[in-house]
């Protein structure tokens, strides 16, 4: 029972990941960060099979920094998504596929625009303005559908995110122990309190 949310605004992407780490019926940790920084302007949120998730995220992060060292080239969000998809697609038809679902939030520094990608463990990759992973999609996608607009400011995005948290608190039978929220924009990645 994990939950990832993200919404893209006019010049940023706001992300949130549930902060409880759960195994079976036990909460192991109330402040688990389900995100991995890939480079200065790319953030990957992940959920799925415990073990696969962190292993895969670190594998992608390491390979992206290796590529940057070799070619002296910072990967764009689209390139990052493309690389991640290829790795997942190869893994899908292997003996033991990674079971990881991903939201990739990034800021394209050359064009000056934010980008958000939704990937599942089958390696379906799609560019979206807002996205959810996990059961929260049943509740939050409709809220995003209702309140999203392309020129969203950070304050408006935070307000929409709050609506999502309230809805999850109200309608879901489990406690996510709050959410860790991050913003990706031209200045890089930073954590914010909502």
Partner 1 sequence: MSIMEYNGGSCVAMAGKNCVAIASDLRLGVQSISLTNNFPKVFAMGDKTYLGLTGLATDVQTLYELFRYKVNLYKFREERQIQPKTFANLVSSTLYEKRFGPYFSFPVVAGVSNDNTPFICGFDSIGCIDFAEDFIVSGTATEQLYGMCESVYEPNLEPDDLFETISQALLNAQDRDCISGWGCVVYVITADKCIKRLVKGRQD
Cβ at position 92, least distance to partner 1 in Å: 7
Return the residue of 137, 156, 172, 177 that touches partner 1, per CB under 8 A.
137
Helix and strand numbers (H, E) in the chain are: 4, 12
State the binding string over 70-109 for partner 1 (x if CB under 8 A, else -).
---------------x---x--xx----------------
Interaction between residue 141 and partner 1 (CB under 8 A):
yes
Give least dist CB 122 to partner 1, A. 4
Binding status of residue 131 toward partner 1 by CB under 8 A: yes
CB of 69 to partner 1, least distance (A): 26
**Contacting residues for 138 by C-beta, under 8 A, at least 6 apart:** none
* Six-digit token string for 33: 């960060």
Helices assigned H by DSSP within 129-189: 136-147, 154-171
Q: Which of 37, 50, 128, 172 binds partner 1 (CB under 8 A)?
A: 128
Q: Which of 132, 39, 141 is nearest to 81 (CA)?
A: 39
Q: Cα separation of 109 and 93, whole Å?
A: 34
Q: How many residues does the chain have?
A: 194
| Contacting residues toward partner 1, per CB under 8 A | 85, 89, 92-93, 118, 120, 122-128, 131, 137-138, 141
């Amino acid at each position: 029972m994990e939950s990832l949310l993200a919404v893209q605004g006019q010049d940023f992407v706001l992300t949130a990941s549930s902060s409880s780490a759960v195994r079976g019926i036990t909460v192991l940790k109330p402040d688990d960060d389900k995100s991995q920084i890939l480079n200065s302007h790319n953030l990957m949120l992940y959920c799925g099979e415990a073990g696969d998730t962190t292993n895969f995220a670190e594998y992608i992060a390491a390979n992206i920094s290796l590529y940057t060292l070799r070619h002296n080239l910072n990967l764009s969000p689209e390139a990052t998504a493309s690389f991640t998809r290829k790795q997942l697609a190869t893994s899908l038809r292997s003996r033991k596929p990674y079971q990881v679902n991903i939201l990739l939030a990034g800021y394209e520094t050359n064009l000056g625009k934010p980008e958000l990608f939704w990937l599942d463990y089958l390696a379906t990759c799609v560019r979206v303005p807002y996205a959810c992973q996990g059961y929260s999609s049943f509740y939050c996608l409709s809220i995003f559908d209702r309140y999203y607009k392309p020129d969203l400011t950070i304050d408006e995005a935070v307000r929409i995110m709050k609506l999502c948290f309230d809805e999850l608190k109200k309608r879901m039978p489990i406690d996510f122990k709050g959410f860790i929220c991050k913003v990706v924009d031209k200045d890089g990645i930073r954590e914010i309190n909502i």
